[in-house]
């Protein structure tokens, strides 16, 4: 079964703030020809404090679908919806400490839960298209929350090898820990952080020892979530106190495999405009792949980066302070105008979900009849 005419329906609706467009990977080193679709998607929405880089796993088209479904799910679950839940939940607490505790628990839980609807839709779209079937995803999704004590906290959930960093006082710090074979080998072999960094940040792997080169060779093998995941991969969640002036960078593997951490730090310090910094980082990684004789560490890959500077106004959530106007739109065209763009497959996915529910109900009924 194929999605047919809906094949090109992988764009995210205009309601989602995507930031600077991702760069589809080149076909090979040193050539201009690129993939038709980038298997990545991003969110960069300072208003709701929501930032994401997602990367699909599978065919070219399937990867693109998976990444965009993750972006859609994160935008739906972790934007205004989560902000209203936080606002409502915190108002029920008796003390500031209790409010902070409630917000912390709720935000962590919702970040993890946001992956489920994306994976569900990917699975259902896989029923319609062999190109999407068994696709998986990796992602870093972060939510900036202002706590009742006026401090800001950055919550991060990540799966796979995309990385989150923060630039503070001119120095770049990595916040996430890769879910990758290379990191697992480090833990298994009890390699020191210093020796691991030497391998991870090498320009020329030939200068490494044989054991280090074997470790370096595993750096592109990453965990992911999806039907073909046999390792029970789950999102890891962390929270960090951030301050005005901090700059957050989220980069997919294509970016940090082609650029050294020091190079990312330099680019972040060089360009103060966030959107321009996103473009500069993606273009710099692309320049490495575009060389006829690239560095030995370079890889051909899609490129996606998000940059956001934490300001006192970051995550202002103006919509929380607006009155919600409820009006009847019956017999009016307004309802259509006010709804997000409808995906071409929505009706079909609803139908498939109903079929699945009926199948489960029938199965349970049959089991019950056997017992009697």
What is the domain class of 4-180+222-371 according to CATH? Answer: alpha beta
More confident residue, 318 or 340: 318
The β-bridge relationship of strands 136-146 and 247-251 is unpaired
- Here the tokens at position 73 are 């799910």
The rounded mean pLDDT for the chain is 84
**CA dihedral for 16, 156, 48, 272, sign (positive or negative):** negative
Cβ pair 208, 202 in contact under 8 A: yes
How far is the C-alpha of 136 from the C-alpha of 346, rounded, in Å?
Answer: 20
> pTM of the predicted model, to two decimals?
0.82
pLDDT tops 90 at residue 24: yes
Report percent pLDDT > 70 for the chain.
80
pLDDT tops 60 at residue 332: no
Exposure class string for 242-260: b at 16+ Cβ within 10 A, else e: beeebbbbbbbbbbbbbbb
Closest to 140 in 3D by CA, of 54, 76, 253: 54
How far is the C-alpha of 372 from the C-alpha of 61, rounded, in Å?
Answer: 48
What is the number of other CB atoms lying within 10 angstroms of the CB of residue 119?
20
pLDDT tens digit sequence for 107-116: 999 999 999 9
Instruction: Tell me what pLDDT residue 312 has.
Output: 81
Average pLDDT of span 269-288: 96
pLDDT tops 60 at residue 335: no
- Residue carrying structure tokens 């005005």: 244
How far is the C-alpha of 37 from the C-alpha of 226, rounded, in Å?
Answer: 20
pLDDT tops 90 at residue 53: yes
pLDDT tens digit sequence for 236-268: 999 999 999 999 999 999 999 999 999 999 999
Backbone angles phi, psi at 139, to 5 degrees: -165, 155
Sorted by where each begins, the domain ranges of the chain are 4-180+222-371
Confidence of residue 323 (pLDDT cuts 50, 70, 90): low
Instruction: Tell me what pLDDT residue 19 has.
Output: 76
């Amino acid at each position: 079964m194929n999605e047919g005419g809906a094949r090109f329906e992988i764009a995210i609706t205009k309601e989602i703030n995507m930031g600077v467009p991702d760069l589809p990977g080149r076909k090979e080193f040193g050539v201009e020809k690129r993939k038709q679709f980038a298997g990545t998607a991003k969110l960069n929405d300072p208003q709701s404090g929501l930032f994401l880089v997602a990367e699909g796993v599978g065919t070219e088209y399937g990867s693109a679908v998976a990444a965009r479904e993750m972006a859609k799910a994160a935008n739906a679950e972790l934007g205004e919806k989560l902000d209203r839940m936080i606002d409502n939940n915190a108002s029920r607490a008796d003390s500031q400490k209790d409010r902070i505790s409630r917000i912390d628990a709720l935000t962590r839980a919702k970040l993890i839960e946001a992956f489920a609807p994306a994976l569900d839709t990917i699975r259902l779209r896989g029923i319609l298209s062999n190109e999407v079937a068994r696709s998986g995803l990796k992602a870093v999704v972060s939510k900036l929350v202002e706590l009742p004590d006026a401090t800001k906290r950055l919550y991060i959930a990540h799966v796979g090898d995309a990385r989150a960093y923060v630039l503070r006082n001119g120095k770049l710090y990595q916040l996430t820990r890769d879910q990758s074979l290379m990191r697992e080998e480090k833990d298994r072999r009890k390699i020191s952080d210093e020796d691991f960094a030497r391998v991870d940040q090498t320009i020329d792997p030939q200068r490494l020892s044989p054991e280090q080169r074997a470790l370096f060779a595993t750096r592109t093998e990453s965990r992911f979530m999806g039907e073909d995941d046999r390792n029970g991969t789950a999102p890891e969640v962390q929270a960090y106190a951030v301050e005005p002036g901090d700059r957050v960078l989220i980069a997919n593997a294509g970016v940090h495999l082609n650029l050294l951490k020091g190079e990312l730090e330099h680019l972040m310090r060089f360009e103060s405009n966030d959107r321009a910094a996103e473009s500069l980082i993606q273009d710099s990684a692309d320049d490495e792949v575009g060389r006829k004789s690239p560095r030995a560490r370079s890889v051909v890959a899609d490129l996606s980066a998000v940059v956001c500077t934490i300001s006192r106004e970051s995550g202002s959530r103006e919509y929380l302070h607006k009155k919600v106007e409820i009006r009847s739109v019956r017999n009016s065209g307004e309802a259509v105008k006010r709804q997000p763009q409808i995906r071409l497959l929505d009706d079909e996915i609803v139908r498939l979900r109903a079929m699945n529910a009926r199948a489960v109900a029938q199965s349970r009924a049959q089991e019950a009849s056997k017992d009697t």
